[in-house]
Amino acid sequence: MNLLDYVPGDSFLHKLNPVTKLAAAFLYGIACILSNNVLMEAALIVLMILISSLAGLQKRALHLTKNLFVLGFIMFVLQLLFVRDGDPLFVIGAFCVFTTGGLSSALLMSFRIVATMLPLMLLFAITQMNDLCGALVKRLHVPYRYAFIVTTAFRFVPLFTTEFHDIEDAQKARGVEYDTKNIFKKIGLIVPLFVPLLISSLKKVDSGAMSAQLRGFHLRTVSSGYHEYPFHANDAVCLVCMALLIFVAVIL
């Protein structure tokens, strides 16, 4: 299962306007960035998991949260060792390993990374990129070429992830063992996989450009699409809730 694939559904979140979903994801991320409270960051993570459950994505959200905490742990260690503010908290001889400021900064940064990334996961899971592109053009009057660039970048994230796992599976079938617990050895095994991934990506870019030209990419305007993306009361409620969340994050 790709954690960034679209999941069809009929939930309240699925029915929101694609522009509202994009704005809400970024506003949620802004609230996570503005907050300087570790407990608030933890609450934002729990809140996003609960919101994901409304769309039937709680298992996916929990699995992605676990994976993101690996990245958060790396940032935790870096912040803990290199931030030297505050009083010494752990000292070996004459060397201060980490301080109170380093510990608080490490906790905040690790939780913030997880809390900021989760809304983007939900955006991918409940929004089709074609709808997002069409809504940006129809509702915000973004030029089609720019909307296409943004949505294509989003679309290629799960595509490249799937391609990477396919290449990894092919290497496993050839006898390469990726189950080692040695992190340095695992990195050494994974790095060579980026070469075939890069070659495959360039082929997809070339075929995609040719396909766009054949379909009259340069002729598309606002009136080219037939599907409309109206805003409803639920969209306004969602954006007001995100604005209140930012307010709470700043106050706390």
192 vs 172: CA distance, rounded Å: 13
Q: How many helices and strands, by DSSP H and E, does the chain display?
A: 9, 2
> How would residue 222 be classed by pLDDT, with cut points 50, 70 and 90?
low
92 - beta bridge partners? 95
Q: Inform me whether the pLDDT recorded for 126 exceeds 60.
A: yes
Q: Which helix (H) or strand (E) holds 197?
A: helix 194-214
Output the pLDDT for position 8. Answer: 87
Write down the mean pLDDT value for the chain.
Answer: 83
Residue with tokens 């809390």: 115
The pLDDT, as a whole number, for residue 242 is 93
Of the two residues 61 and 209, the one the predictor is more confident about is 61
pLDDT band at 21 (very low <50, low <70, confident <90, very high): very high
Q: In Å, how far are 80, 177, 187, 204 from 35, measured between CA atoms?
A: 19, 42, 33, 40
Judge whether residue 215 has pLDDT over 80: no
Q: What pLDDT is attached to residue 4?
A: 63
Rounded to whole angstroms, the Cα distance separating 54 from 231 reads 20
pLDDT at 143 over 80: yes
For residue 173, with 0-12 CB atoms within 10 Å meaning exposed, 13-18 middle and 19 or more buried, which class applies?
Answer: exposed
Reference 50, options 125, 118, 127; nearest CA is 118
Q: What is the pLDDT of residue 7?
A: 85
Q: What would the two tokens of residue 17 be?
A: 């306007």
Task: Give the count of beta carbons closer than 10 Å to the beta carbon of residue 95.
Answer: 8
| Structure confidence by residue, pLDDT tens digits, 45-96 | 999 999 999 888 888 888 889 888 888 888 888 888 888 887 787 777 777 7
Could you state, in order of their start, the residue ranges of all structural domains in the chain?
11-126+226-252, 128-220
Residue 221: pLDDT above 70? Answer: no
Residue 105 and residue 230: Cα distance in Å, rounded?
Answer: 43
Report which of 64, 45, 49 is spatially closest to residue 5, judged by C-alpha positions: 64
pLDDT at 225 over 70: no
Tell me the per-residue pLDDT of 147-171, one tens digit each, with 9 for 90 and over. Answer: 888 777 777 777 777 788 888 888 8
Q: What is the mean pLDDT of residues 211-216?
A: 75
Lookup: tokens for 231: 């805003």
3-state secondary structure of 7: coil
Place of tokens 């050494």: 188
Give the pLDDT band (50/70/90) at residue 111: very high
